Amino acid sequence: MKQKVVAYGRVQEAAQRRLGETYEVTHFPHGVPLSDPALQAALTEASAFIGGEFDVGKELLDLAPDLKVVSNVSVGYDNLDIDELTKRGIAATNTPDVLNDTTADAIFGLLLAAARRIPELNNYVKGGGWQGLLPDSKFGVDVHHKTLGIIGMGRIGEAIAKRAHFGFDMKILYHNRSKKPELEKTYNASHRSLNHLLEEADFVCLMTPLTEETYHLMGKPQFERMQKHAVFVNGSRGQTVDEAALVDALNNGEIRAAGLDVFQEEPVSVSHPLLQMDQVVATPHIGSATKETEEAMSMVAAKNVDAVLQGSRPPNLINHDVELS
């Protein structure tokens, strides 16, 4: 009898077909709640759960006694209860590396859009505002030759540094738990304390994972340290920023603009104060949202599932202490 796999959300068809060659795959679209009887029935017999956009904790795991692996189609895994998975002997995996360049493109695009006020000026033209010489009040700021501060120099942070250094001749500062000598040499980058980075940078990109330590890492004291002409970009998780403090910083002129791909609550409400501001560029958590990258992520996630179900340790194991059966 084939082992059974529950696929949830945006697991691409090619990955489902690959898994379907060996396993019995049942797919549920995004939005189906855990209370759904069909989902509960499928979980009861499942050996693997693959997907994203779904919290995996005790409630789900109690429904899935035979589960061997939870394969997250994402590099982040704050939706997974890692301790509970490890305690139950269930492998937790993710999809690092494959989305680095795509996400870096998106985050640097946000930086450019906020600096040059591209969405605002797009609306200005389409709304009939362009009737002559562009007034100085609509000018943006340069990106080239400026100083970029990256908070959280993981793989995506490094990809952003690469674009900034080679493409825009920017000075690179970074704040990270550990120094990276090779990166410093490659991109002429300098390590800084968080406070010093905020004080020196013209652009600040927040790229940390969400942990207890990084929750509201950027709040009122941090925004007050930034330069008044600085642009803030968040490509990490919405919970790493105190959004009320960001609203105040923008309203009070403590920083110039913000580019946000993530929010505390997603989807963000259209009435959110940040969305009422021309100096905020907002995108709907699109870091990896290209056809090519989503397909590649799904295939990596499928390989993680296959490895565990075939009795091997998966290539992208998160909970290294887990004892797999």
- Residues serving a catalytic function are 237, 266, 285
In angstroms, the CA 104 to CA 5 distance is: 32
Local structure of 29: helix, strand or coil: coil
Closest CA to 159 of 108, 109, 193: 108
Cβ distance 6 to 50 under 8 Å?
yes
Please classify residue 114 by burial: count the beta carbons closer than 10 Å to its beta carbon, then call 0-12 exposed, 13-18 middle and 19+ buried. Answer: buried
Local structure of 150: helix, strand or coil: strand
Residue type for position 245: A
Cβ distance 52 to 10 under 8 Å?
yes
What secondary structure does DSSP assign to 254-318, as a single string?
A: SSSEEEES--SSSSPPTT-GGGG-TTEEE-SS-TT-SHHHHHHHHHHHHHHHHHHHTTS--TTBS
Cβ distance 297 to 95 under 8 Å?
yes
Local structure of 319: helix, strand or coil: coil
In angstroms, the CA 298 to CA 17 distance is: 11
- Judge if the upstream peptide bond of residue 267 is cis by omega within 30 degrees of 0: yes
